[in-house]
Amino acid sequence: MRHGARIQEAVLRAILHAGWAGAFGASLLAFALAFGFSGDAEIGAQRDTLAEERARLLRPARPAAGATSDPRSRIDRYYAVFPVRAALPARLDRLHAVAEAQGIEIESAAYDTADVPDTPLERISLTLPVRGDFTRVYAWLAEALREIPELTLEALSVKRAAADSTEVEGEARFVLFVRSDR
């Protein structure tokens, strides 16, 4: 008798000896093996897809048409994104218009300017006392920062007159970067 036939006979004898519980267990084992192999194929396909995507992401990006890798030109393009100082009044008007649209009261404003060393930028510090509904103040901040990309929020302090009040008073400190005229 061949070796494979002996194994097959031994397995059949073991199943018959185990009864219906053994047959049920053997069928569960066969199902698990079949299900495992089919799952392995799907996982293998996902692994291949991920490997291709990883290889694509690790490839160095091709520079855009007309782009140079010269560091000086890259820095110049970076600074060119900032608005010129002459655009400052329009940016401040936009900041106040967004506050007004949200129902935020800005009674006064304090401005301070300083050159950013070794760059063509000026740093405009703005201090704005604000008063309004708590959620509207945060909506104003979000909209202002989204619409004026060169604007950053440096600090925000708010206080409520009462714990159950939605009205807040506070101070927002912004920094706005512009290209200087020099």
> Domain 82-179 carries which CATH code?
3.30.70.60
Q: Going by C-beta distance under 8 Å and a sequence separation of 6 or more, which residues neighbour residue 137?
A: 102, 104, 130, 158, 168, 170
Q: Does position 61 have pLDDT exceeding 80, yes or no?
A: no
Q: Does position 20 have pLDDT exceeding 90, yes or no?
A: no
pLDDT recorded at residue 159: 92
- Rg from Cα positions in the chain: 34
Lowest mean pLDDT among 1-5, 21-25, 31-35, 51-55: 1-5
Whole-model pTM over 0.75 = no
Spatial distance between the Cα atoms of 182 and 158, rounded to a whole number of angstroms: 38
Domain positions in the chain? 1-59, 82-179
Give the confidence band of 8 by pLDDT, cuts at 50, 70, 90: confident
Mean pLDDT over all residues of the chain? 85
Determine whether 61 is exposed, middle or buried from the number of CB atoms within 10 Å of its CB (0-12, 13-18, 19+). exposed
Give the confidence band of 29 by pLDDT, cuts at 50, 70, 90: confident
